[in-house]
Structure 1
């Protein structure tokens, strides 16, 4: 039996491919350092685990409303009020099986065949694939390295046409760690309102900022921009809850209602226990991200300094998330490789360091390194990369 056309267009995840290869080498007994992780290396805080265990014993293991339990929705609404000065009603919020599923469901309900979504590159690997699965067309526009990997108003304006339905803004960014400031967001927002295109604001790394600045959501800049924006977020990165799969979307009730209806026919509801765990995450006074931020900031400064000391490697210093996205084209060329992908594969084979090639993020001259691992591992990885570059 032949497969559906929609899945034939999917591009395999480079992140998963390099991770699988690294795991295979580890199973063979090799000392592999993996810098591909897209999740904090901290466990979920104890107070959240305790609430989840209690939820199981209390029998909170049944179906819930498709859009999420009322208590969690209320906690998310309070979070928006406190953190972002944004006011939402319960019918403007949906809880989903991870932020990724919020995005997937959103594209399914807003896109018709050949509708276009503007995707700034470098981009998170799943954006273009999810758009294609919904019958839409991802339109990739380059965010230049010299502009801190951020798109300009002019680039956005030039990419818009009558088929444009939405634009994705991811700040702080995966894979670059770069952050849009308020003025930049205002300028992009004005263009979106002028052309009546939806803003998909992916803010999953909101809590991981290292510059001392406060996160700015484009939705909070004006009532008009709030109406034009769907905010995507979740507890995965902020509370080390990647495996719990709890995300959410907030925006106009018409879109949220459609997303909820679709979820009722796909996932039924997010896992009940995970929802109560997320409720604990947002209800407690504890701030688990504080310790993480301090540790990540220290690792960032360490790894950045080590990387820029390697010949042929240049790097913009990120302001958020937990990734570095250095340009290694010169190093790869000097080492005799035709592409950065080949260089990455050889590095893994010879030095047992796993990086994610930037080609999967729409930026073939770069690589993504996650510093969500120990200081010792980061120092050893940088040492091996430098040795690899010098010996080639």
Structure 2
């Protein structure tokens, strides 16, 4: 059967800054998934989209076409409303771990379909797999049952959701088109909309450790994704949050799980707690179960969120009480002089943690559960000469040299009273 469109015509339209029709979009996404549109043709189209952009109608239709290549889930049969959260990724961003059980403790189901880390940003599934026995792969039946009983699931997305995205994502990765905002937005939102959640809160990171380095780009991405969610009937809101400094005091898989458990026990670093609470308040409001920040903090302090966490981990085979893996080797970075820690660059810390074995360069690479970095000071803290600023952990000590190299220039100590760097507020903007 003859194809209704020609790939070269579609490429030319976008190359010449034209607007693709609904029919062209539906066809090209489906035909690429079927293998009719060749990789080099989709590469050319992706580059044309990167250079010339897409209108709201085009991005909306492109996202719908990606969803149509796979299955759609429905949580209509659940006894409670659903809300999900997606972060664009950062360094030390373990927020999903305490957030999902916290929101579940208020009677809202959280179907958190997560991914693995690549490069300097960590993956939620890699973190949780450092818990002995925990498994990421669940059947749809297991997922539904756990949402009904426990209220929170963090698991791997099934291969049936938006298969076009998996193919296109791999292509963008090798053709210099990862940064195309219409393609980032449709990649994220096609999976989230197909997942069937009723409400979605986006955590769009801004800064050196984030995908979006400037507030302007982050705001454009957030606006595009909020519009996509709204057009698809999903109540969607985005927070722009700072990622110039790592979140919390750990970067690395088991290290971040430990810190998340501290938050669930009513402690943990102030920035991790602040962002967890802010996102929980947004998720609960979007699911029509509003709670104020004090109510949410109370659920961390009184053990309700911890009870949900224990039930969630146990339901997926995890031994909640088992000791977490610890790396075999450690070394430290110390302050050269007394003063104030002025800067601590998220990207430098992320790359160092990745080089220690906490992350992967290719999808198939293994990760070390115990590898990563513990931070003993954050910008604004007073430090003394010789004080330990960071502890680096790995099972393979030959990695230390390259990790230390990544940190060069990534932090600075200034004399007390010197003009320092004023830290950015954690939540920079809200887009609804």
**TM-score calculated relative to the size of structure 2:** 0.30
Q: How does the TM-score come out when normalised to structure 1?
A: 0.33
The structure showing larger relative contact order (alpha-carbon pairs under 8 Å, at least 6 residues apart) is 1
Structure possessing the higher radius of gyration over alpha carbons: 2
